[in-house]
Every structure is written in C-alpha cells, then in structure tokens.
Amino acid sequence: MNTSKIRKRSDGHSIETNSEWLKSVLLSIHDGVLVIDKEGIVKLINPEYTRITGVTAEQIIGKPLKEVRANAQLIEVLKDRRERVGIYRKEGEVEYVVDMAPIFVDNEIVGAVSICKGLTEVHKLVQQLKRDRDHLQKQIGSIHQAKYTFDQIIGADGGLFNVIQIAKKIAKSDLPILISGESGTGKELFAQSIHNESQRAKGPFIPVNCATIPASLIESELFGYEEGSFTNSKKGGKIGLFEMANGGTIFLDEIGELSYELQAKFLRVLEEQTIRKIGGTRVENIDVRVIAATNRDLNQLIDKGMFREDLFYRLNVLRLMIPPLRERRADIPKIIDHILFNRSNDKHVNYTINQETLNLLQSLKWSGNVRELKNTIEFAVCLSDTSDIKEKHLPEFIRNNRNETNINSNATLKEITERAEYEQLTSVLAEYDNSLEEKKEISQKLGISIATLYNKLKKYGIDF
C-alpha cells in the first residue's frame, strides 16, 4: 500500500486503519450483519450472515443488494430513513428475524445496516425468557405467601363456624369473591385462608389496600407501566400487582375506594383476564383469582353513582359476610386466651385473666372489633406487674363504661369523650398498616398532627 496516499483523520489515525478495525469488530459479532452504501451496494457481510442466510461474500459484496436479494427491505430504509425492528423473513427454507436501520454521518444518510438472527436462536431466547419468567414467578410466589389457614381462625367452632364452612366451599372455585365486614373483623385473614384452601395455594397471594395507595399511583401499581410512560418512571418499566399475582390470588381490600374510572378498567380485567400496562400496546393474558373486600355498603355507593353496578355484580358472584365481634361474644374469651398465650411465650410469663374482668370485656361493644380487643389486652399486659390480668389494668374509659349500648349515666364528660375518641381511633387504625407513611395518612384522616397521633397511641396503650 502506498502510505503517502493514506488519508488522515483529525485524531491522527488513518481512515483505512479505522475501517479495518471496524470490519474486525463486525466479523466478530454473533449476529448476521449486512451493510450497504447509499447507492444500495453491499459493502460488507460477516460470517454469521452467511451461516444464517447461506449467501457468501463472493455472491453479494460489491453488488446491488436488489440483484442478489430481490425481496430485501433494506433498500426501503434508505428511502424513508426509518428503522425496522423484528421483521420476519423467509428465503426458501431459511427463516430469520431482522432489525434494520439507516446510517448517518453529519446528518446525511450514507447507507444502511441489517442485523439478523436465525429463528432457532430467537426461539431459544424466547424459551429462555419464558424460563426466566417462570422462575421469577416462583420467586414472587415464595415471597408473597399467605400465612393464615382456616384452622388458625379463632371462632371456627363458634360464631364463625357457618362463615368458615361457606368459605371452605367457595375456596374450591375460581370465581371472584366479595368479603364484607366492619374494619377489624379479619377480612384479609379469611382471604388468605381461602387462598391456602384453593388450588392456587402454591401461587402468590398479593394483598392490596385500595384506600392507602394515592389515586394518582394506583393504576400503575395495579397494572404496571412501560419505560418512559411518564416523568420519573423507572428504567425498564415496572411490573404491576396483577402480573405479580399471576397463577395466584390478588386481594383487593377496600374495593369501594377505587375511582369510578379505574373501576371500568378493573371490570375489563375481570371479564377478559387480560391487562395492558400504562404506555404499552401489548395485551397480556393473566391467570388471577380476585378476592375483594369492603367495610362499606356498596349498594349505597351505587345509588350515589360512586360504584359501578356492573362491577358489583361481577364481584358479587360469591359473597362472604363476616359478623362483627359484638355478634359473637362467645368468641371473646378464646381470642383473649390466644393473645395472652402469645404474650406469655414472648415474656416467658403465664398470663391469666380473672372472670370479673372477662365478663366486663364480653359486655363491651368493640366498635374496632378484634383489633380493638387486642390493643386493650396488650395495654393490660403492659400495666400488669403480675401474671394475673385484672380490671384495674384495663384502660380507664373501658373500666368506666360497662354497658354495651349506653355509656354509664354516671360517666363524666371526659370519660365519654375518651371512649368516643378511642373507638374512632381504633376504627381508623383497622384500615391501615403499621408504617410511617400510613401513620401520616391516619393523622390526616383524623385531622390531627403526626405527633398528636403518637401521643394518642401512647395514651391508650395501642400497639400500632
């Protein structure tokens, strides 16, 4: 080579040297590569292109692409300057998939490149992705396991006996279930038990409290989103809770809090068992059993135009109604024994409760249901210096209010106020989980500061 004629770049390297280096890179790629110039003349192919298509360098390099590959679409890329992705091609018995793109230098098109992969390799990649997806699904399933069963429900042989018998039967079906009951009655406990009794027991159980997720986020949380769907979206997008629940159960607590617009999308998911991520165009099939729960009267919400009637009937295929604690007072001693048993194990002390105190606890209204009862017993354990829980260890407002329907006529205004405050506090707490963010939401709902909320929890001995 006459080195005096070698052209130099501004960085001191020859264009020919860089060209040879680039060719070496392309020849090393394990995908088929074909490059044409702006006239459509083939300038380069690599060995992998020959392996996939059967076309050799001698047959094609230096020739117009159209002469050798009459159906080639790469020429169209030169004309419209648009990329093409995932194009299926078949030449004779050879099948492959091609990505194509124009080549620009200083905003001028100078050629185009085609990257192809044999269908066998594509099939292998698809199978690997499927295996990875199945593995991920199993991992999700092992993380999101339901822990409660019907055997762990206190009252299974008493006030909840009939409810549990119905729940065990409907667990065998794949139809949607609607669980209704006051806050604190154990709706999620029933949902988990139904899941563990069903054929989906080995799949994931995904609980979602519709009241605690901001309205602006709940759609993306439920259905996921594609990368770039909105500002600050995660790179690679995000998997939704419905997709995480695939092969298992999704539990939608406080279903009445879903926006009317989102209810329509949820109805479509129920009817078609498909989802589409925000910003996505691809519809994905899912296999999810839906259990919804509410402490509100959905019929009243329908009358007010706040809940879709068609969604209600789609959910209300199998109905389970959990009675409040005041309607199954015989279960109260069993629940107390269970709480004290757990505390005894924790503190290595055999806690007991005398009959007089037990009678008082059975006479109360328990607006916050089991959660309120649990908080009361926890308070008493903390105040007791011995293993024997007595009436004097209970919160003051409970000691002064013995009638289940009417406040003691001798009660002071302070006692009446404290009782009402306690009942409202425990009722709201039953709707939320124990986290800082949710405590902030609780304080906003109650119209108090977060500091005041902490003081109230301490005052009433509520462990939350």
Domain map (residue ranges) of the chain: 3-118, 150-323, 326-459
Q: Is 80 exceeded by the pLDDT of residue 186?
A: yes
pTM higher than 0.75: no
Give per-residue pLDDT as tens, 383-407.
Answer: 888 888 888 888 887 877 654 444 4
Q: Is 50 exceeded by the pLDDT of residue 8?
A: no
Percent of the chain with pLDDT over 70: 84
**Of the candidates 393, 388, 376, the residue with the CA atom closest to the CA atom of residue 336:** 376
pLDDT of residue 403: 47
Bridge partners (DSSP) listed for residue 265: none
* Rg of the chain on CA atoms, in Å: 34
* CATH of region 326-459: 1.10.8.60
> Quick one: tokens of 34?
């074909």
Between CA 46 and CA 17 the distance in angstroms is 18
Rounded mean pLDDT, 335-353? 85
Residues 6+ apart with CB under 8 A from 69: 55, 60, 91
For 253, the enclosing helix (H) or strand (E) is: strand 249-253
> Quick one: tokens of 178?
């609607």
Q: Which residue has the higher pLDDT, 464 or 208?
A: 208
- The topology under which CATH files domain 150-323 is Rossmann fold (3.40.50)
> Quick one: tokens of 378?
């926890």
Q: Which of 105-114, 256-265, 356-365, 432-441 has the weakest average pLDDT? A: 432-441
pLDDT of residue 5: 41
Band of pLDDT at residue 124, cut at 50, 70 and 90: low
Between CA 459 and CA 400 the distance in angstroms is 16
Q: Is 80 exceeded by the pLDDT of residue 414?
A: no
pLDDT of residue 123: 54
Residues 6+ apart with CB under 8 A from 104: 110
- The topology under which CATH files domain 3-118 is Beta-Lactamase (3.30.450)
Rounded mean pLDDT, 29-35? 87
Band of pLDDT at residue 138, cut at 50, 70 and 90: low
Residues 6+ apart with CB under 8 A from 268: 274
Q: Is 50 exceeded by the pLDDT of residue 4?
A: no
**Of the candidates 77, 80, 85, the residue with the CA atom closest to the CA atom of residue 35:** 77
Rounded mean pLDDT, 170-186? 93
**Of the candidates 209, 168, 217, 195, the residue with the CA atom closest to the CA atom of residue 293:** 209
pLDDT of residue 310: 94
Q: Which of 41-45, 122-126, 211-215, 277-281 has the weakest average pLDDT? A: 122-126
The highest-confidence range among 125-134, 224-233, 254-263, 417-426, by mean pLDDT, is 254-263
Bridge partners (DSSP) listed for residue 289: 249
Rounded mean pLDDT, 67-85? 88
42-81 CB burial, b ≥16 within 10 A, e <16: bebbbbbbbebbebeeeebbeeebeeebeebebeebbeee
Rounded mean pLDDT, 340-345? 84
pLDDT of residue 133: 59
Band of pLDDT at residue 450, cut at 50, 70 and 90: confident
